[in-house]
Structure 1
Amino acid sequence: MTSGHTDAYPTVAGVAAAASAFARSRPGLCGLREIGRSREDRPLQLLTVGRGRRQVLVVAGPHSDERVGSATALRLAARVAADAALHSRADAAWHFLLCLDPDGTVRSEAGPAVRRTPAEHFRHAYRPPADEQPEWAPSIRPPGDQLPESRALVGLIDELRPELQCSLHGNDLGGSWIQLTRDLPGLAEPLGKLSAERDVPVQTGTYDAMYWKVSGPGVYVMPEPGERAQFASLPEDVNRSTWIRPHRYGGMTALFEVPMWASRHVADSSPHPDPARALGELAALLRYQAGRTRALLDEVRPLVPDPDSGLRRTLLRLAGELAAICLDVADDWAAMHPSPVPLTRAHLTALDIAARRISLRATGILLRLLDGVPGAAQARLRTSCELQLTLWSRALEAGHDLAWVPVADQVELQSQTVLAAFRLLTEG
């Protein structure tokens, strides 16, 4: 199975077609079934390889702007099917949820298919609010108001009782890294080797796992319940997310991150010479960007036709939330010194990327709201938003020495690290 275009992510439709053909070609070993429907009535498809007692669940597309996972799932399915040591001899069955958020992922397919620039990525990528992200939604929404995608995933975990759940993520800028809900000692070694072979830095400082325990370079283990796990500004709670569901059955979850653009600075574990100054500057940057984003949003809002329609209402809410979270994150970072975590250059690089990414996402959403809207005022505002996106994207690129990681390398790195985790778990 291939990803279609050279150096491009496969589409939701392309993944479904490839998986269907793959399952039909191996009727004794593979199966394809629907486990639910999305909010917009797209199928949630599960490709199974093998019939063993040890269950492995691989979840692709948990974030709709992180499109590598579906390509990785296809590559893993082909590898597993071709190697009896990974299924029959390991007494394992592998289950690939091909895309957890197909509605959002389809929206991220807009724009150039091959080798986008960072500006094009943020212009066209779509990432819904946290309470509409299926992995996180159970930790935010009330029990009686869960997304159908979340219900389908939770039901699948309860059905399979997986020993290992693998969540396939892809950061837009940075390096490779893994988050674990339980430790897998020794995983840092294959992560480092596989990353080095593809000239991808191992990320030794992250925004997402700032307060997680370090098992080895680039491998982070979830803190114990009651210990600090994330910044106060983030609404999610990992202890109530779908990552924890396998713990009911003695299993665990591993999240595999690979970058679209690599920045070697995320691997610099030397102490930062002046973290207090750097944090203050980042907080000031966030506050400036929040003000600029709010000003653009105030101009865009009255020009949006039918703002109460489903998607436009969500986009307006999302733009407002992104502007607001800039201020919350700025407060977090301004109060972070002295930090309970010794801050390295890698940590500050990750925070700088996170700061700039928030407003780039917001500006992309504003442009999406203006797409196809006629009128001279709209055209002038669209030009202002495009200029802002271009300037902020150039500043991001200039500060982080970015290098594109070909999609084939992203897929190989992610699939091989999943297999490394499986082997450590089953052979240890």
Structure 2
Amino acid sequence: MDRYLTVADVTESARRLVSRFPGTGRLRRIGTSRAGRPILMLSVGHGPRHVLVVARPHPDEPVGGATALALAERVARGEQLSPATDPALVTWDIVLCLDPDGAALSEGITEATAGPEPTLEGYYGSAFRPVAAEQPEWAPIVSRQLPESQALFDVIEELRPFLQCSLHSVEAGGSWVQLTRALPELAPPFQRSAGALGVPVQHGTYDALYWDNPSPGIHVLPPPDSTDRLAAGSENIGLSTWCAPMRYGGVTAIVEVPMWATDLADDRSPHPGAADALRELSGLVRDGGRQVTAVLDKARRFLPPAEENALGRVLEWMADDLYDLVAESWEPLARQAAEASLTRAQVCSLDVVARRQPLRAAGLLLRLLRAADDDTAPALHRELHELFAAWCTDFEKALRLRWVPVRDQVEHQARTVVAAADSALNVVQF
């Protein structure tokens, strides 16, 4: 495994697996996307208990498709490497791609990262992540019910899984897991896997700034009444698909692996100037956002209307107030840093977020400018691409990024999912 798989690759591999293991694997359609694409689920095993695996919930996080197939293969072979992979005990139900429409707009990632030394410029130039209201796992939080979200809710209600695993990846940093309920036995195998494969464990993450952190890289959702401990915009997280298995006593694990790793992610030494660093990062995300928006303002008259174009909707959403929202969410941390130093790892996690926001926007706008039929588009493209390339280079150098081979991303994520399933078997009451 030396590259990410497209949705078509994953689907074809799933069909072949069903043919190779007749009676063990089943493939069925569980829903239809907004654009009419099928949402498929591969089930392996016949056990009375269910693990639900969700691949490609975010279309710009491509590792999940390959991980899903790796998990299915292990169970189908009946290797029984652990209790959770015993097909007579546990059925593994694997949603091959939760957001096929978004994935279609990120298909270029496979080619862009297929070389021996993939670059951030190639990745951000081909990646797409929809606005929050169009992300299937997150849309219910903002009162948007997508058919993709409903398909997942329906499967959760049907199967009542004791564990749901959502397969995510992060552009840069380390690996971590977010849980809706503590799994005490997960931390040791998770950390052993990361160490064996040379994947740093992320100490501190923007995604779970105020969650409980019982072990390095493991974060547990705070109680429902602790809304002051959640990131901005996630106060209604109980409405998300992540929390749906809790209705039946189940738990969800969100498993993150890095595409590019940085050793700063697990550097727990005090940062010598954390308060100043946070102020600089706030300026970085705001300044980058303003520069992209300035080019967008010049191009808006000839770009497709945002309501008709998914890339344009993201650009307008980000230009509205997203850059400021991200920067402002760090103000409590900046005050904390003035009193007690943050670690280099904590600052590193925020550094990744600060740099990626303008890069995501710039990559989308560059794609629209390349396709635009207007005499001024090439000049605007050159102007923005100069910034884009410089930001990518600065990102790679500042965090000393190194590519994690796809096979190692997949192996670590698959090991972590199996460890979570084994742990959940001992925690969840049946």
| Structure-2 change in CA distance of 1:273 and 1:36 (3 Å) | same
Match of 1:316 in 2: 312
Question: Do structure 1's residue 120 and structure 2's residue 122 form an aligned pair?
Answer: yes
Answer yes or no: is the 8 Å Cα contact 1:300–1:366 preserved in 2: no
State the aligned residue count.
416
Match of 2:55 in 1: 60
Q: CA–CA distance in 2 between the matches of 1:365 and 1:259?
A: 21
Deviation at 1:84, TM superposition (A): 5.3
| Structure-2 change in CA distance of 1:367 and 1:191 (3 Å) | same
Match of 2:96 in 1: 98
Q: Secondary structure at the match of 2:207?
A: coil
| Structure-2 change in CA distance of 1:326 and 1:333 (3 Å) | same
Question: Do structure 1's residue 379 and structure 2's residue 384 form an aligned pair?
Answer: no
Answer yes or no: is the 8 Å Cα contact 2:176–2:255 preserved in 1: yes
Q: How does 1:194-343 map to 2 (within 5 A)?
A: 194-227=193-226, 228-232=228-232, 234=233, 237-304=236-303, 306-307=304-305, 310-311=308-309, 314-323=310-319, 324-339=321-336, 343=342
Give 2:425's aligned amino acid. T
Answer yes or no: is the 8 Å Cα contact 1:59–1:168 preserved in 2: yes
Give 1:132's aligned amino acid. E
Consecutive unaligned residues of structure 1, counting only runs of 5 or more, are none
Q: Secondary structure at the match of 2:286?
A: helix
Q: Secondary structure at the match of 1:186?
A: coil
Instruction: After superposition, give the CA deviation of every residue in 1:118-140 in whole Å (9 maximum; x if it has no partner).
Output: 01111110000011000000111
Match of 2:131 in 1: 129
Q: CA–CA distance in 2 between the matches of 1:418 and 1:181?
A: 14
Question: Do structure 1's residue 18 and structure 2's residue 13 form an aligned pair?
Answer: yes
Give 1:231's aligned amino acid. A
Instruction: After superposition, give the CA deviation of every residue in 1:13-50 in whole Å (9 maximum; x if it has no partner).
Output: 11111101111222211111000111111111010011
Deviation at 1:310, TM superposition (A): 2.1
Q: Secondary structure at the match of 1:390?
A: helix
Instruction: After superposition, give the CA deviation of every residue in 1:364-385 in whole Å (9 maximum; x if it has no partner).
Output: 1111211222343111011111
Match of 1:178 in 2: 177
Match of 2:359 in 1: 360
Instruction: After superposition, give the CA deviation of every residue in 1:388-426 in whole Å (9 maximum; x if it has no partner).
Output: 110111111111010101111110110011111111222
Q: CA–CA distance in 1 between the matches of 2:271 and 2:223?
A: 28
Q: CA–CA distance in 2 between the matches of 1:285 and 1:91?
A: 51
Q: CA–CA distance in 2 between the matches of 1:274 and 1:209?
A: 22
Identity of aligned residues (%): 45
Match of 2:425 in 1: 426
Q: CA–CA distance in 2 between the matches of 1:19 and 1:342?
A: 49
Deviation at 1:261, TM superposition (A): 0.3
Answer yes or no: is the 8 Å Cα contact 1:301–1:316 preserved in 2: no
User: What's the Cα RMSD here?
Assistant: 1.8
Give 1:121's aligned amino acid. Y
Q: CA–CA distance in 2 between the matches of 1:214 and 1:309?
A: 40
Match of 2:68 in 1: 73
Q: Secondary structure at the match of 2:92?
A: strand
Q: How does 1:395-414 map to 2 (within 5 A)?
A: 395-414=394-413
Deviation at 1:81, TM superposition (A): 1.3
Query: Of residues 108, 111, 114 in structure 2, which corresponds to 1:110?
Result: 108
Q: CA–CA distance in 2 between the matches of 1:246 and 1:230?
A: 20
Instruction: After superposition, give the CA deviation of every residue in 1:131-174 in whole Å (9 maximum; x if it has no partner).
Output: 100000011125xxx11100000000000000000000011101
Q: Secondary structure at the match of 1:33?
A: strand
Q: CA–CA distance in 2 between the matches of 1:275 and 1:189?
A: 30
Answer yes or no: is the 8 Å Cα contact 2:44–2:87 preserved in 1: no
Q: CA–CA distance in 2 between the matches of 1:236 and 1:101?
A: 23
TM-score (norm 2): 0.93
Q: CA–CA distance in 2 between the matches of 1:23 and 1:425?
A: 27
